[in-house]
């Protein structure tokens, strides 16, 4: 399935049905009085966060969604039926924005969360509503109210606890394969990862976290260079960033420190809040570095970056050091989860009319 993380849709809630003008006609009741009922409300448009979806591809090919209008009121005190509602299933992490103003309207952050994105119009009043002591035979009625109409932009920001970032060919896909159940495409050339991959890392019984592997970043990514700029948004909801660095690049003339600094700079340009997230270094491919040279290379890199956070020395290919790193990462994720005390799933639909 093609990964799509952005789509535009047009939605229309149903209009309310019109009220009815009617009078009771029964034998021996010459002045039966008004009995025109109200119109039914229009259908609402709901959105539900479905944990089984991971892309917005369905909305790329089907862009318009119209709820049914309410039925008109009828005689004999009969109200019109409400229009059928529409429920749109969206991936967890979808941001719903007004396409015209850019205002963020809703965010689906919890599996099972339900929100109303367009409210159906109320039904109009029938003439029985206008009966009074001085108006025994009213002929007034009101039309139904129009339903809400919106042009929306849907943007998916994946919900992962940990995000992997780094230059192309740094070994991110190999790493997520080594520590999780994800099986992304792996090859010995740049940009083999063309869309985010999510994997569940299991540390123990009922102990796990979600990690996201993004396309490699290059200098200028925040302005559109390479592929990573298309997916930097997916790092915005992570709790921890693992900066994967290739310690054995194909070209020995490559300045690893300069590359690492360039990626950090791209994060800052794209979103200062993303740059401020906890970021740990993961020094990968150490199996390709002679054992005697490892301490010197690691020390030189950390000193060049002036990095003071945790540093992990691993080989994703041989899985050396991966298990110890995963345990520390899990502890950090759980500590942040406890501090955040995430919300529970809520149902934010409008209360349906009793009829």
Q: For 227, which DSSP code?
A: T
**What domains does the chain contain, in order, with CATH numbers?**
6-156 (2.70.210.12), 162-340 (3.40.50.300)
197 vs 182: CA distance, rounded Å = 7
How many Cα atoms are found within 13 Å in the side-chain-facing hemisphere of 109? Answer: 9
| Total Cβ atoms within 10 A of residue 120 | 34
Q: In what order do the strands lie in the sheet with 240-246?
A: 197-204, 207-213, 162-165, 240-246, 279-284, 311-313
Question: What is the phi/psi pair of residue 207, to 5°?
Answer: -130, 110
Tens-digit pLDDT profile for residues 144-172:
999 999 999 998 877 678 888 888 778 88
pLDDT at 121: 94
264 vs 220: CA distance, rounded Å = 11
Model-wide pTM > 0.75: no
Tens-digit pLDDT profile for residues 19-77:
999 998 877 777 778 999 999 999 999 999 988 777 787 888 889 999 999 999 998 88
Say yes or no to pLDDT of 226 above 50: no
180 vs 138: CA distance, rounded Å = 71
277 vs 91: CA distance, rounded Å = 24
3-state secondary structure of 23: strand
Tens-digit pLDDT profile for residues 299-349:
988 888 888 889 999 998 888 999 999 999 998 888 887 776 555 566 666
User: Stretch 110-128: mean pLDDT, rounded?
Assistant: 92
Categorise residue 40: left if φ over 0, alpha if ψ from -120 to 50, beta otherwise.
beta
């Amino acid at each position: 399935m093609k990964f799509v993380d952005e789509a535009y849709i047009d939605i229309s809630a149903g209009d309310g049905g019109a009220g009815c003008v009617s009078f009771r006609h029964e034998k021996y009741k010459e002045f039966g009085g008004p009995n025109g009922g109200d119109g039914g409300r229009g259908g609402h448009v709901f959105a539900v966060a479905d944990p089984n979806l991971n892309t917005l591809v369905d909305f790329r090919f089907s862009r318009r969604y119209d709820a049914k209008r309410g039925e008109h009121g009828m005689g004999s005190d009969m109200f019109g039926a409400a229009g059928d509602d529409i429920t749109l299933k969206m991936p967890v992490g979808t941001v719903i924005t007004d396409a015209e103003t850019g205002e963020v309207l809703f965010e689906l952050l919890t599996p099972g969360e339900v929100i109303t994105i367009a409210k159906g119009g109320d039904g109009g009043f029938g003439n029985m509503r206008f009966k009074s002591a001085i108006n025994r035979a009213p002929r007034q009625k009101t039309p139904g109210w129009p339903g809400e109409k919106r042009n929306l932009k849907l943007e998916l920001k994946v919900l992962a606890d940990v995000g992997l970032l780094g230059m192309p060919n740094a070994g991110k896909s190999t790493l997520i394969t080594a520590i999780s159940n994800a099986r992304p495409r792996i090859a010995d050339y740049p940009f083999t990862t063309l869309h985010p991959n999510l994997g569940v890392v299991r540390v123990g019984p009922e102990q796990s976290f979600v990690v996201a592997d993004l396309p490699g970043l290059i200098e200028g990514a925040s302005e559109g260079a390479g592929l990573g700029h298309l997916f930097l948004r997916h790092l915005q909801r992570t709790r921890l960033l693992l900066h994967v660095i290739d310690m054995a690049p194909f070209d020995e003339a490559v300045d690893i420190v300069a590359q690492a600094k360039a990626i950090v700079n791209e994060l800052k340009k794209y979103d200062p809040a993303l740059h401020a997230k906890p970021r740990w270094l993961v020094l990968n491919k150490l199996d390709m570095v002679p054992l005697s040279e490892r301490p010197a290379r690691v020390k030189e890199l950390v000193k060049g970056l002036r990095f003071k956070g945790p540093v992990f020395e691993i080989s994703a290919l041989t899985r050396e050091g991966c298990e110890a790193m995963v345990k520390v990462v899990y502890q950090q994720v759980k500590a942040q989860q406890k501090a955040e005390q995430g919300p529970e799933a809520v149902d934010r639909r409008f209360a349906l009319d009793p009829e």
